Amino acid sequence: LDDNPSHYKIKLCGTLKSPKITFDPPFLMLMPVPLDVKTEAAVNVIPQYYLRQSQIRVEVPELDLEDGDRIYPFSVQFPEGQDIVLSSDGTNKELICHISFSSSRPVSFLGNVFFIDEEQN
């Protein structure tokens, strides 16, 4: 500015929200079914405040039976993909997740299914 240095001070204020995921429904109860019959439910995975693309992975429980055997009766599928994408309006698109259970052995279970993003949240 014509050899006349001016000093400008800019103050910025903002709020940064941590990425999070919510679910609809927040709890899932699969109906009892006969042995070797699959029961399934859909869950809406609702990501919020993700500013860049991420991918969700799922950890499903393995069950230890009384006789020492271990089974993996749960499976998870994302029919439209597992990527969290930022929409043009600044929101994240919901993901649909199908959780299914099938077992050849009688079992009941109460526990957690973990949804984890690329940042290990």
80: left (phi over 0), alpha (psi -120 to 50) or beta: alpha
pTM: 0.79
The conformation of residue 34, written as its DSSP 8-state character, comes to -
Distance CA 115, CA 63 (A): 18
- Write out the chain's pLDDT in tens, 121 residues: 566 666 777 888 888 788 999 999 999 999 899 999 999 999 999 999 998 889 999 999 999 888 889 999 999 999 999 999 888 888 899 999 999 999 999 988 888 999 999 888 8
All domains of the chain in start order, with CATH? 20-116 (2.60.40)
Distance CA 69, CA 63 (A): 8
What is the torsional sign of CA 101, 107, 108, 109?
A: negative
Q: Residue 79, preceding bond cis, omega within 30 degrees? A: no
90: left (phi over 0), alpha (psi -120 to 50) or beta: left
How many CB atoms are closer than 10 A to CB 74?
A: 20
